[in-house]
Every structure is written in C-alpha cells, then in structure tokens.
Amino acid sequence: MSTERSTPAQGENVEKRMGRGLKVCLSILLTLTLFLAVVNLIPPKKVMEDNPFLKAADALPMIAAHRGGGLSNPENTLMAFRAAVNDYGIQICETDLWMTADGHLVYSHDASINRMACPEGTEPVLIAEHTLEELREYNMGYNFADPFSGDYPYRDLSEAEQLELGLKILEFSELLEEFYDTNKDLLFIVEIKNEGELGFEAANIIDKTMTERFPDYKNRLVVGTFHPEIEMDLKEHHPGLLRGASTAGAARFVITQMLGVNLFFPTDFACLQIPMSYTLKGVRLDLTRQSYIDRAHRENIAVQYWTINDEDDMRFLIEHGADAIMTDDPQLLARVLEDYRG
C-alpha cells in the first residue's frame, strides 16, 4: 500500500492560491464598504421642501392626540378634541375614518360603535350598515369610565346634553370646521379604515372636502392606510394629499436603512409613523435607533411614534429627536414637555 504525499512545491502553490483568494475577498469587501460609505454621504432627495409635520431642529416634539386623547375623554368625540386643543395645547389631532351606509365619512377606530356607545351584550352596530342619522342616536361617551373614580359620568345625559358636550359621532368635516377659523396651525393625521371601493370613496371625500371647504388645512393633513390598493389610489388620484408611510413603506424604509442602501429606495411619504419596537418572527427590532430618525430628517420626513402613554418612553423619544409623539394621554405629555421647557 502506497501513500501519496504533496511535495514542498505543491504546498507552496496551495498557499499562494489561498492567499490570492483571501486578497480578492478582502478587496471585494473593502470596495463594498467604501461604496456604501460613499452612498450614505450623498444627500438624499427630499420628499418635500416644507413639511409642516417636521419640527424645528431645536424644538420639542409635537403632541399628537391619539383618537383625541382617549384616556382623558371619550375617544374620537368633539369633547376629546376640544380638550386636547384648548386645554392641553396639542398640535396634531390623530384619528380614524369609516364610511357609513349612506356615504358619510365618520371618525371611529373600530368598525362598530359598541365599545364606545353600547351596553354590554348589544348586537354589533356596524358603521357600514347604518346611516349617519341612525348612528347619531347613540351616546359616544356611554362606556367612558372616569380614570380616577371608575364611574361612567356620561351615561345618563339627555340628548341635548350629549349634543352640547360633543358626544355624538363626528362627520369628517365637523372636526375641521370646529377649529378652522381659530387654529390655522393645527395638524391632522387620519387613517382610512375601509378597503376597496369604500376606501376609494373615503379618499374622494377627504380630497374634495379639503379642496373646496378647508383649503388652508389641505397641506396640514396627512392620510394613512393599511390597505395597498388605497395607498395606490392616493398616489394616483390624490397626489395633492400628504401621505403617511404604509406598513410596507415603513418596513422598507427601516430595512434599507439597516442595510445602508436607502439611496436606491426613494421614499414618497411625508410622515414615518412607527411604534418604538416591532417583533418579527420572535426577533425584536428597535425602531428608535438614531440612524432612522436622522435619515428621515435628511429627506424631510417627519418621524412620529405611537402609541406612547408611558412617561419614561415619552422622555426617551423627546431626547432622541422624534417629531411627534402620539398618545392617549396628551395631558401627561403636555406636563412632561413643560418640564423640558422649564
């Protein structure tokens, strides 16, 4: 039995080939690193020159009253928005929109009004199956519990008292009309909840209403949606409306920033609305990294975090340069911001 052995010359050749391969790999890696570094030094194209949702560099974040501030007052009611604007000094009203059976656009987070307006056990009162007149028979403060006493202070109100306090379901134009003459600097974030044809109709109503009745607010309102077909409709048929990032758009922004290739994936939304973190298949992604905020600001995109009701989280976002903090407790955030002003 014989055993072949490599000669010294053969061993040297193997070492040389390995050395050349290592040099090639290092060269490719160095070239790629330098390329990405140069790419990230190139100023990205700005989404828009004047974004009203972008705070000044040395300013504190704006307060976005999530659903009007549902911890302090019945959510998505005129009562809640009045308190948020007039008492807590918020800059942004955040809310959601649904189409009624007779073609009106109303504010509600849920597809039904049961959680806010109906006794337990009531059959679902779906917005899409009722007219505006029918929905206005309900008291939208019925299930609101006082955060301190636990009582239900608005259950036994008369119709006149409900109207006076602003506890009836709101049509889209009514919130705008409430503040149009007195608060020209107010901003709005709205989300179209309907999909398909009803979502297209909602977009038409928003555009027509802003253009014809509230032109000074048109570039102060940003529209969002979770439905891809509604996002495409907004892009194609309503280019004059500002848009927030869709789920896919926000994910693409974050992932391309992680990989350092954002320049090749230009964005076209005015606001990046994201939570502080997101868990994907068991992996927690931190969405508060300074690089995300800085990159968005280089493109004149406003960064808005939701839904923040914890004081420590509020302070963290304030110190990291968020443009807006969406909260159910605008009263708390107003106090926290006052500490920083002081």
Residues 81-101: tens digit of each pLDDT: 999 999 999 999 999 999 999
With contact defined as beta carbons under 8 Å apart, do 327 and 335 qualify? no
CA distance 200 to 76: 22
185 has pLDDT over 60: yes
Q: Which two tokens stand for residue 201?
A: 């109709």
What pLDDT is stored for residue 42 in this prediction?
A: 53
- Please report which confidence band the pLDDT of residue 33 belongs to, taking 50, 70 and 90 as the band edges: low
10 has pLDDT over 60: no
Closest CA to 100 of 87, 89, 88, 111: 111
Beta bridge partners of 243: 223
- Please report which confidence band the pLDDT of residue 40 belongs to, taking 50, 70 and 90 as the band edges: low
CA distance 253 to 272: 9
- Please report which confidence band the pLDDT of residue 35 belongs to, taking 50, 70 and 90 as the band edges: very low
Residue ranges per structural domain of the chain = 62-110+170-341
At 304-337, the pLDDT tens digits run 999 999 999 999 999 999 999 999 999 999 999 9
- Please report which confidence band the pLDDT of residue 43 belongs to, taking 50, 70 and 90 as the band edges: low
Give domain 62-110+170-341's CATH architecture: Alpha-Beta Barrel (3.20)
Written as one letter, the residue type at 130 is H
pTM value?
0.86
Average pLDDT of the chain is 90
What pLDDT is stored for residue 231 in this prediction?
A: 96
